[in-house]
Amino acid sequence: MPLILQPGTTLIAATHNPGKARELVALLDGRFEIIAAGALGLPEPDETETTFTGNALLKARHAALLSGRIAIADDSGLSVAALDGSPGIFSARWAGPTKDFAAAMAKVEERLIETGSDDRSAWFTSALAVAWPDGPAVVVEGRVDGQLVFPGRGDRGFGYDPIFVPDGYSQTFGEMDPARKDALSHRARAFDKLKAALF
Ligand code: ITT
């Protein structure tokens, strides 16, 4: 049987990150009933996998198993070319337990200065996984390329948005209208693939 997501299905959004939850709701809006994992009191699993897709599947499966409903999860991060792809899957962890993204962005800048490289290219990746409580799951990945700028600009996004300018634009993700970010982001590109696979 092919995996299909019927419109109107209730989906658990398996994220505890409010910025991400907002973007997932914007992408899924109107098609599905969304319940946030946090609202159900579901605990956050440890992200023990070594890839974005592995961690997205782990989070979706965990929420589907605990809730008994279909769950969608995103694992994402910023990869910096001159840092060999760091922080990558460790993007959230670079901000520490207090989720201090000013400190995480300062760390990216420091590490870049240490390399002596003037290459500021970077990309965001989003892996989106949908898991059914009885086992099947689908995972896809989207990416957006751009350049890092320091100091960061804008307070409209979350995480590393202030230091990322997507290719072809002059505003950072932090300055951009959220609807524009939602049309071209790594998460939107992953979502397009999910639509092709499941809708
Ligand atoms: P959940 O696991 O509960 O979803 P999290 O914040 O821990 O929340 P991740 O492990 O996937 O999520 O970490 C990804 C980090 O990468 C996230 O905390 C952001 O700081 C950063 N990130 C991902 N997408 C981003 C975006 O669109 N804009 C800015 N930063 C982003």
My answer on whether omega of the bond before 87 falls inside 30° of 0, hence cis, is yes
Query: By alpha-carbon position, which residue is closest to atom 17 of ligand 1?
Result: 92
Model pLDDT, residue 23 = 94
To test the pocket of ligand 1, the residue of 89, 160, 185 to mutate (highest count of ligand atoms within 8 Å of its CB) is 160
> How far, in Å, CA of 141 to CA of 85, rounded?
16
Q: Does residue 189 sit in helix, strand or coil?
A: helix
pLDDT score of 38: 84
Residues lining ligand 1, Cβ inside 6 A: 15-17, 20, 44, 47, 59, 74-78, 91-92, 101, 124, 157-161, 173, 185, 187
Asked whether the predicted pLDDT for residue 128 surpasses 90, the reply is yes
pLDDT at 199: 85
**Structure pTM?**
0.96
pLDDT tens string 54-95: 999 999 999 999 999 999 999 999 999 999 999 999 999 999
| Measured distance CA(6)–CA(182) in Å, rounded | 23
For residue 1, what pLDDT band results from cuts at 50, 70 and 90? low
Q: Which of 136, 125, 53, 128 is nearest to 87 (CA)?
A: 125
Is the Cα torsion angle 39, 13, 185, 118 positive or negative in sign? positive
User: Where does the chain show beta strands of DSSP type E?
Assistant: 10-13, 33-36, 71-80, 121-131, 137-148, 164-166
117 CA distance to ligand 1 centroid (A)? 26
Ligand 1 centre to CA of 134 (Å) is 27
Per-residue model confidence (pLDDT) at position 14: 96
pLDDT tens, position by position, 8-63: 999 999 999 999 999 999 998 788 999 988 888 999 999 999 999 999 999 999 99
DSSP state of 50: S
Distance from the alpha carbon of residue 101 to the mean position of ligand 1, in angstroms: 11
